[in-house]
Amino acid sequence: MQPLGRTRWAIPEGYLPRDSAAKPRSVRSHETACLLNAGDSPAEVRLTVYFADRDPIGPFEVTVEPRRTKHLRFDELDDPASIPRETDFSTVIESSVPIVVQHSRLDARTGVAGLITTIAYAQQFTPTRAS
């Protein structure tokens, strides 16, 4: 199969509310990066999280096996550090092979869950004469 996706992605929007941390996992507000590796080789994926007022944290490293999907909840990432709550953040995702990245948010702060989702921004490789 021809590779599907890109190797660099960006999610410029992220936020984890503080008030939902004690709720059961199934109804806790969260951000998720849904990673699809439709190819024939494992995807070694690195996420770096950026902030407005502090240094980035990361990389968070995961492997997405060939022809598999992995959904990463940002509220559960903790190595090398946890993402602080009540803080705006953005994420850059880099993969060793092309993948597809979708971003979703579940907001359950009011007791009524709202779900939003979008495809992350993908950087297209443009070859130059030196490449």
We report the CATH number of the domain holding residue 108 as 2.60.290.11
Which domain covers residue 62, as residue numbers?
6-122
In single-letter form, the type of residue at position 74 comes to F
Q: How far apart (Å, rounded) are the C-alpha atoms in residues 11 and 19?
A: 23
For residue 129, being part of any structural domain is answered with no
pLDDT per residue over 60-111, tens digit each? Answer: 999 999 999 999 999 899 999 999 988 999 999 999 999 999 988 766 666 6
In single-letter form, the type of residue at position 58 comes to G
For residue 127, being part of any structural domain is answered with no
Nearest to 7 by CA among 73, 100, 90: 100
pLDDT per residue over 32-41, tens digit each? Answer: 899 999 999 9
For residue 130, being part of any structural domain is answered with no
How many domains, in total, are found in the chain? 1
pTM listed for this prediction: 0.82
For residue 65, being part of any structural domain is answered with yes
For residue 131, being part of any structural domain is answered with no
Mean pLDDT of the chain: 84
